[in-house]
Amino acid sequence: MLIVVVILLCVLIYYFARSSSGQDPWSAPWSDSSRSALQILNERYARGEIQKDEYEERKATLTANMRH
């Protein structure tokens, strides 16, 4: 019984810590909803991680999916 209480307290502390920071407490900690796929693609192109043809192909795919 004591283990259940300790686990519940840990979950509550985590929940309140995340919610007080302005984040959704149940979202994955590595997800950043403020960055769209297109923003990430633009950043990768700007850093030189992908070439122009790959950038344009992926951008066309993303914008086509946004219209649906």
Residue 5, in any domain of the structure: no
Q: What is the pLDDT of residues 56-65, one digit of tens each?
A: 999 999 888 7
19 located within any domain:
no
Which positions ≥6 away from 4 have C-beta within 8 Å?
A: none
Question: Collapsing DSSP states into helix, strand and coil, what is residue 1?
Answer: coil
Task: Count up the domains in the chain and report the number.
Answer: 1
32-57 pLDDT, tens digit per residue, is 555 688 888 999 999 999 999 999 99
* Residue 62 domain-assigned (yes or no): yes
> Domain range for residue 56?
33-68
CA distances in angstroms from 55 to 20, 33, 34, 60, 62, listed in the order given: 38, 21, 21, 9, 10
* 23: nearest Cα among 31, 3, 48: 31
